[in-house]
Structure 1
């Protein structure tokens, strides 16, 4: 288990690491930078750098964490990457079902594959499934998400790279918005954020504003119009603490 600074979760669990870029939100992938750094440090799990690598030996880790946690699954990869075997994905879901005292948050940009595999997945009620939507031309990912059997469905607009008018929020339980951070971070217009917030308020969908981002996100903070926006599905709250594996994904 790795404590994380990601505001909407508590710990990360990475039964696979590494990925490949699929859309504009991947351009400055934090996970890629972190994986290369860990590889240079000689961390065995990152011996392959950012090449997709399965780690079956850590599949059962959550079963040994007895205190209930909010767990972000694959902060350093994408469970629905095209090279991850369906049997491995099903094995991850089996562990999440068995570890029923935890809440698992899965996030993907591969929404089409998510939808294609939906019939194979045994959706436990403690799994929150999300898709990343960074620009208006990727809104179709939300339709793929809504077609799944996930009990809780969420959308992560991070890094937000443009306006997202008329988000299809029917059947969506949560929306996260955040700006890109780190070297080369692309700017986020506050008007884009306020519009998404207002859409969520009108649709009664919990809205979570993660950060403004920028090269130094600690300097820009996460206040929007003078306050934090930390709503989560069902009023769930995290006890987030400092991490070693944060990622903008």
Structure 2
């Protein structure tokens, strides 16, 4: 596989009502810097939530204190504006410190739909909705931004850009271990040719990369960042993919065709 890095434009980062932590945003910037790419923040207004908020007697239960509060449209808009403004400010700060080009666009709609309807060659970074618990890392803090990098490689052709990105992340010193789920004509020899520099490589060849197994990988990802070719997701029903991403505790980067 060719592992030369080229500038393929911006990494798309969808931003909605679910607040993204500083550490995840910093990871996006480190990844973009190592790939010599910019970041495009897609600021989203979820029309479906706005429609729900217009229903009479609509309320939500807060996570802290389990208190009930109104989901009025104005309240939801203010909350969205507050989260977007805070995320934008933090991204500007991190882009400056990492010397990464940053731009923003606004769109209305759901996170997954708005991201996938864009140029199929663009890479999309989905931060996790849930925080993974790392009991060992709590005691021994890792020195890698991506302790466990997962690669989904259904074939040599579909996995080419995944390998290219993985090689750049390894050279940048961001990765601790590489875990590859390989299928088709992907060879272990090609994986071993990655610039591992003594880092651990684990290859799994016993998992057929069906739609169900791909969804399972996303939902229960043991990786800090999983790189998955966009072509793998084409047979997956959008609703099922959205549900899997909502449950994911690891970062997922959908790798476009380039």
User: TM exceeds 0.5?
Assistant: no
TM-score (norm 2): 0.26
TM-score (norm 1): 0.27
Give 1 or 2: higher helix fraction.
2
The higher radius of gyration belongs to 2
Give 1 or 2: higher strand fraction.
2
